[in-house]
Amino acid sequence: MRSIEQLVTEPGDSEETRRYKAHLVIASILVMPAGLIWGSLYFAYGERVAAAIPWSYAVLTLLDLLLLVQLRHHRLFRSVQQVLLLALPFSLHFALGGFVGSSIVIVWSFLTVLMAVLFADAGEARWWFAAFLVELVAAALLAPGLTIRNALPHGLVLLFFILNVSAVSSVAFVVLHSFINDRRRLRELEVAYLGQEMMLRQSEKLATLGTLAAGIAHELNNPASAARRASEQLRETFGRLDELRIRLGKSDLTPSARDALHALEVQTLRDASRLPDADALTRADAEAELEEWLDERGVADGWEIAPALVAQHVDRPALERLAAAMPVDELGAALRWIACIYRANALLREIGESSGRVSTIVASFKSYTQLGHSPLQSIDLHQGIDSTLTVLQSQLSNGIRVEREYGRDVPQLQAYGTELNQVWTNLLTNAIDAAGKDGRIVVRTRREDVWAVVEVEDNGPGIPDAIKARIFDPFFTTKPPGHGTGLGLSISHNIVTQKHRGELRVDSRPGCTRMMVRLPIAGLTA
């Protein structure tokens, strides 16, 4: 069996095809002695013309087998066998005088149809079936005999009748039974594959969620750490403010000194809510000049006071008025009081900004996962993309520049928001990997007739033409082991094309890879 499979195997043959080909060759080998016996019986009972037909079939089959061994061309071998299987029954039908006299041998012609179904395509199988029907009609028209009109005894005709029907029916049963079993096994494999694919997709989603969770944790850690650090510094600042308030409260300040100090406090509270607008070099020069002014008036630790005073834009006339009205030994305490008030308010502003950043990240993540919403909903594509970019912010920290070119005419869509956010995640993650450090990513949206179009473009090296047709195949990836499952684009393609009846295309060349998603504006219905 193994040697016969090697003889008939051609490149690209499946195990099932190799088995069928080997069975055909074995059946042809077994038919040769049967043909010799068959012809000998005809000859023994005086039907010499009829005897020559199965003998000829046995000889021609032997020659066909020798040709197969020489050329290893199974299709040629099979075609010759099909022609012989059409010619043999038809010839015997006429030689023995019709349907009954030939023991309905014409049914052997149906084996040509079975062979075509097993080995040929659908078009060729239809042609062979048509040939069988034509031969059957021709036999009925030309030799319809329903009685025995030959020298064969009635018992032998009946025996061949039973053998012919049984043999052809058995072959048909074996082929059908094998086909059904193969289909059943294929279905079981398909179900197992779908189950495995579903598990892998869930694993891909969990892996993506784990990566996003790590990124979110990193993004939350920065503002949270900043808020904690600011709160600790604020505690120290409030302690110093209490000390300075007690000291200034015990000082015998004149009304003019209190007015000058109050004026600076008002300016401090006003300016503490905004960030310094001067560049670092200008601030450094102003701080150095102010430190010199403080040293001239005997104020200690001027290097600590000067930055706060410069940051709140305290002008020289205001300081001169305060210095003129304030006792010399209390001037330093007053300026430290002003500096501490500014620092306390600046720290409060920093805590507010940090907590605001945390709220923004949490809101973006909630929008990204569509928590609290039904799967099918009216969504804003721009909001979903922005939320995804916020979630991926940790991956964009290596200098990648993201440009948004949103079309104002893109309407809201009825779609599955969570699944689409997964698509944006996969496309943007691939673009981030392709763009590399200091790369550029452009996200565009626009309306084209009945479509809403989203493009994600990066300036990476591009996708080679050799693999461009395979990028949406499951498990295909160009990333090194451990860095990708090959399911991201496959899942995205299914979400866009199957779940949203849209299109996902790729256009790539060195320096520009563009992934285009087209979604129907008409949307989906629940």
| Residue 91: closest CA among 116, 60, 127, 125 | 60
- DSSP string across 130-191: HHHHHHHHHHHHH----S--SSS-HHHHHHHHHHHHHHHHHHHHHHHHHHHHHHHHHHHHHH
514 bridge partner residues: 457, 507
| Residue 423: closest CA among 327, 491, 336, 348 | 491
| Residue 277: closest CA among 304, 303, 312, 314 | 312
pLDDT recorded at residue 389: 86
- Spell out where 330-400 has E strands: 376-379
| Residue 238: closest CA among 353, 314, 347, 350 | 347
378 bridge partner residues: 414
pLDDT in tens, 46-104: 999 999 999 999 999 999 888 888 888 888 888 999 999 999 999 999 999 999 999 99
The burial of 61, by beta-carbon neighbours within 10 Å (0-12 exposed, 13-18 middle, 19 or more buried), is given as buried
Q: What six digits make up the tokens of 430?
A: 């691939």
| Residue 494: closest CA among 423, 418, 398, 428 | 423
pLDDT in tens, 267-280: 666 665 555 555 66
pLDDT recorded at residue 373: 55
Q: How confident is the model at residue 134 (pLDDT cuts 50, 70, 90)?
A: very high
pLDDT in tens, 468-496: 888 887 766 666 555 555 667 888 888 89
pLDDT recorded at residue 131: 93
Average pLDDT score, the chain: 81
pLDDT in tens, 314-366: 666 767 776 776 776 677 777 777 778 778 887 887 788 778 777 777 766 66
pLDDT in tens, 115-130: 888 888 888 889 999 9
**CA gap 494, 523 in Å, rounded:** 16
Helices (H), 251-327: 255-271, 280-296, 302-311, 316-325
pLDDT recorded at residue 213: 67
Pairing of strands 512-520, 440-448: unpaired
pLDDT recorded at residue 362: 74
* Residue 29, pLDDT above cutoff 90: no
Helix (H) or strand (E) run with residue 453 in it = strand 451-458
pLDDT recorded at residue 185: 82
pLDDT in tens, 4-15: 766 666 666 677
Q: What are phi and psi of 414, to 5 degrees?
A: -85, 110
> Measured on CA atoms in the order 146, 147, 149, 152, is the torsion positive or negative?
positive
**CA gap 397, 400 in Å, rounded:** 7
* Residue 187, pLDDT above cutoff 70: yes
CB 10 within 8 A of CB 74: yes
Average pLDDT over residues 135-149: 91
pLDDT in tens, 489-525: 888 888 899 888 999 999 988 889 999 999 998 866 5
pLDDT in tens, 90-120: 999 999 999 999 999 999 999 999 888 888 8
Which of 304-308, 406-410, 415-419 has the largest mean confidence?
A: 406-410
**Which residues fall within 8 angstroms of residue 441, CB to CB, at 6 or more apart?**
400, 401, 402, 403, 428, 431, 432, 435, 456, 457, 458, 459
* Residue 411, pLDDT above cutoff 70: yes
Residue burial 389-401, b: 16+ Cβ < 10 Å; e: rest: bbbbbbbbeeebe
The burial of 49, by beta-carbon neighbours within 10 Å (0-12 exposed, 13-18 middle, 19 or more buried), is given as middle
The burial of 459, by beta-carbon neighbours within 10 Å (0-12 exposed, 13-18 middle, 19 or more buried), is given as buried
